[in-house]
Amino acid sequence: MVAGVVAGEAALVLLSWRPSVPFRELVRDESPLVAVRAGNGTGKTRSAMWRVARCALSRPGTSYRVIGPSFSQMRDTSARYLWDFLAPYCVRGSEWRPGTGWTRHGVVSLRNGSSIELKAYSDKASTQEGRHGLEIIVLDEVPSREHYVANKGRAKQLIVLFTVQTQATPKWLRKEIEGGERSPVVTHAEPWVRVQHSTGWVQYVVALVRENVPHYDDLTFEREAGRHRGSDYEATRIWATWDTVLEERRFGGWSNRWVKSRTDIAAMLADDKGRMSFRLARYGLDYGNGSKQYQCLIAVRGERFFLLHEYVGKTTSTFGDHARALKLALEAWGLPGLAGLAKLDAIRGDVNSAGPGQGGDRLNDVFNRHLALVYGLGSDEELPVRARAPASKREGAKEVREIAINQAMLEGRWYVCDTCETAILAASQYEGGANDPHKDAVDAWGYAVQDVALLYERQAPAAKVRAR
């Protein structure tokens, strides 16, 4: 009889809230470790409370814990959501009241014997230790490391919900969730993703876009999204990036607004007859061993730059693969054969040598020989355009390239095709330095357009004149 009542109650809960598509996946997810990195207002907290409520009703006699930043914050969000879902099923005396929150010492008690503890990060972490066997623990917003440690391992499932808004990216949490893996990034083309990491965590990344918030009407959505569009917080509060305003990212001008679909970019590059038209086309190369190889095709129309295509080498990639990647990139954008290759104004590759003690542009020479083979030519001398060194390798050139690219982003003149996942990741996460994992991609962009957009020679300090 009890099971029948519980099943009926769970059905009523299902009717009371319908999560968006990404959160429907979440509420069915039984993974032991779940991280939800989502934009403001996407419904992550309500959806997590919906999962807790449903489980508490369908599993009599089980225990749960929900922890928020403070009791006042919980009173008006997660605690109230639990009341919305569970009011008919609570024991007498266990209820939520406006301005007060839950009675019975912050414990939600259900008639089927299940209970939900409500706690806050303002409590000492030590007060949240000592109990095991919970079904679910929800940490709402970024916890302190102490609170995280105190709760991990005490439930069958740990769920962490957050939008990064702290003064510095919580790198310890990021490392805990992702390890050394690439962070998933969402775009207009893919506004939410679910990723299983080798660390054991499942991560959901959900953007504040129209399709992810069916609980808003159009006017409410525009009001909520409009609060953050164009602001310093757009990346975190709409696109749920790890990066914060105060983090020392090189590309503070980057925004997911600059990610465009192929159709959108084709329209932006079209002339009055609908044909693709551009002022310049550049190809950038950053050489490396295997997967460090990065290539990009960039078109310039007026003062705007369009990163159309990218290639990221694999550990087994050869120079033949690298050369074919250029040909395929041009073909993908309607530039086949030698005529298409001739549309490139320049191919810029770094001055790496082919091995220790061998100077000059040796890797560019090797690339050129393979490019000639790919196009069926007898010699690289027959190529209409050959890979050459960047316009400048003078001291400070790298910094000037990056500053100028960021300025183009700030001015809305730097667009990236949504298929270029590595470029999108690099634009949102690059911090600089020789060991930055995104360095190769950023260098290739700079090599490609340095003498076009970055005007290094004009920006470089005047040469010193030696006194005689």
Pairing outcome for strands 259-260 and 63-68: unpaired
Does residue 300 belong to any structural domain of this protein?
Answer: yes
Does residue 467 belong to any structural domain of this protein?
Answer: no
Does residue 251 belong to any structural domain of this protein?
Answer: no
pLDDT the model gives residue 257:
85
* Same domain? 147 vs 91: yes
Report the pLDDT averaged over residues 435-461.
Answer: 73
pLDDT the model gives residue 291:
53
What total number of domains does the chain contain? 2
Report the pLDDT averaged over residues 429-454.
Answer: 85
* Same domain? 74 vs 148: yes
* Same domain? 67 vs 174: yes
- Helix intervals (H) in 71-189: 71-76, 78-86, 103-106, 145-151, 171-178
pLDDT the model gives residue 169:
64
* DSSP-derived 3-state class of residue 116: strand
Of 57-66, 169-178, 352-361, 404-413, the poorest mean pLDDT is in: 352-361
Q: For residue 112, what is the domain's CATH number? A: 3.40.50.300
* Same domain? 168 vs 218: yes
> Residue 94 in contact with residue 107, Cβ under 8 Å?
yes
358: confidence class by pLDDT, cuts 50, 70, 90: very low
What letter represents residue 359's amino acid? G
Of 6-20, 72-86, 115-129, the poorest mean pLDDT is in: 6-20
Of 63-67, 278-282, 338-342, 432-436, the poorest mean pLDDT is in: 432-436
Pairing outcome for strands 294-301 and 304-312: antiparallel
Does residue 464 belong to any structural domain of this protein?
Answer: no
Q: Tokens at residue 400, please? A: 């000037």
Neighbour order of strands in the sheet with 134-140: 107-109, 115-120, 63-68, 134-140, 155-162, 33-38, 201-206, 192-196
* Same domain? 106 vs 192: yes
pLDDT the model gives residue 463:
36
Instruction: Supply the range of the domain harboring residue 136.
Output: 2-237
Assess whether pLDDT exceeds 60 at residue 13.
Answer: no
Q: How far is residue 247 from each of residues 165, 169, 184, 240, 414, measured CA to CA in Å?
A: 11, 7, 18, 15, 21
Torsion sign over Cα 83, 87, 93, 98: positive
**Residue 174 CB burial class (10 angstroms; 0-12, 13-18, ≥19):** middle
Domain boundary among 176, 205, 237: 237
* Same domain? 220 vs 265: no
Assess whether pLDDT exceeds 80 at residue 38.
Answer: yes
Q: How many residues does the chain have?
A: 468
